[in-house]
Structure 1
Amino acid sequence: MKKILCTITATIFTICAVAQEIKVKNDEVKIDEKVVAYLEGKKPNFQVLSLDKQYTVSAELKFLESSGKRWMVLKSAKTGKTNEVDYKKFNPLNQQKSAMEAFIDKGFLSSEGLNTDAIENFINGDASGVSTKIKEEAAAGIEKQKRMESYQITIDDSGSIYSAASKDPNNKNIGTIKIASTTSLGVQKYEVFDLDGNLIATWYNMSSKHPGFDGYLYEQFITYDSKVFKVKPDTAGVLQYKMSTDKTAAMIVKELMFNGYTLQHQRAGK
């Protein structure tokens, strides 16, 4: 009974935490209409003050132009040290509110006000390395894009896939991609085959079950050896459908090749 009550209590606490309404207006930070902190200054640099205005921490909003990814640098007025905070979510139309949501997510702010000890411990503790990770991910993304472009993928209207990366100098055909399911919302399922007609990957648009896979697939494809990769659909600018101009199909093939699936005779002898 005690275990059940604890579970119910934890569930109620979680629901209440999620239901909190956060507002930032007229330099006041409110949680459920209760003022919990104050702001001074304007983005991208501002100060967050405690209710008695005796404690201040500086916040600088940063972003990487090449990727648009954002983070925040906090600076202690006491020690002059800094540390970086990432966002759980970010709204460019209300950046200060996004910053305060990050404060709540990190345990720096609650309905009781600023947790100054938690803020100082974080700033003066180990470096979070948020910006380093963001920059490394951006660099990796650029390198991945370059590699994908080098495959020089083309798909004809019958679904035949061609790649300049094919090792066969006489035949650049490496496989086939087919539409397996559609709805009024568009293509919901693609299947990719090697040159021997073996199924290599199945991509699902809507949340779907795949035979032998424990879980649901959403905007993902699963390979014949049960590896799962994310590919978001791209239908921008599509007026009249043709497989040869299907950006989603091309991206599925590129993602396969990037992860070592060369198609051609992929499953020969397996």
Structure 2
Amino acid sequence: MANSEFKYEIRRTFFDNHETLKCVQNLFMSSYSKLLKHIICISIRHVFTQLSNFLFLILLVIVTSVLNEFFLHYTIWQVVLLSAIFFGICTILYIIFYMYQSWTSWFDEIINESDLCYKNANKVYSKEKNAFFVAVTPENKIIGCAGILLDEEKNIFTDPIVSILDENEALLIRVITLPEYQGKGIAKLCVSACIDFAKQNNINTIQLVSTNRQNAAVKLYEGIGFVNIRNELFNKFLDYSTVLMELNL
């Protein structure tokens, strides 16, 4: 499957060599890093919004009263400002620390435990009823990918929001495009290849998991025909939720 406007083709890979697997892993690292930065920026804006919250102001007043006993040479507004800066910095540091932990945990999972780790990739995607497609340029650079699980792995390498899938259901995963190649229809073609594979194997329903922070991805899935069937709050403070979507074939 090839594209005429921008030269690349969609290929099925079985991960029978480590070079291909490493390229796909790097693809995920690049994409997740971009998402992580996006969430941090939104979260920091959320922090400053919360500074105007009534309950937060009450806390500031309490802290201000205490600090004012120790810093009598400061005016009340100087102490308020110092308190606000202190709480803001602490909250931002918490966000960065939380995201760093999430990043390292996710990275460790990809490398050591997931369907894309060295011990699992070939075993999972060499199966007749699982498939992984990559978008490859003429220079043999992998710029996008998507995978689909029809076999038992669909209930192993999944998210808690997904219920147990039966034999007529499949799981679409790992839909990624390098940031500099986004907007060229690469992800759509990779997903289409997965959908065609599912149809050939008599699948009735495909599910996938996204997040409320991946607006472009959600729009892509909706354009293909997926519908949002469930949202599950992952982190209330960061307003971060997982989204379960479904496509009936």
Measured against the shorter chain, the TM-score band is under 0.3
User: Whose radius of gyration is greater, 1 or 2?
Assistant: 1
RCO (CA 8 Å, sep 6+): is it higher in 1 or 2?
Answer: 2
Calculate the TM-score normalised by the size of structure 2: 0.27
Calculate the TM-score normalised by the size of structure 1: 0.25
Higher strand residue share: 1
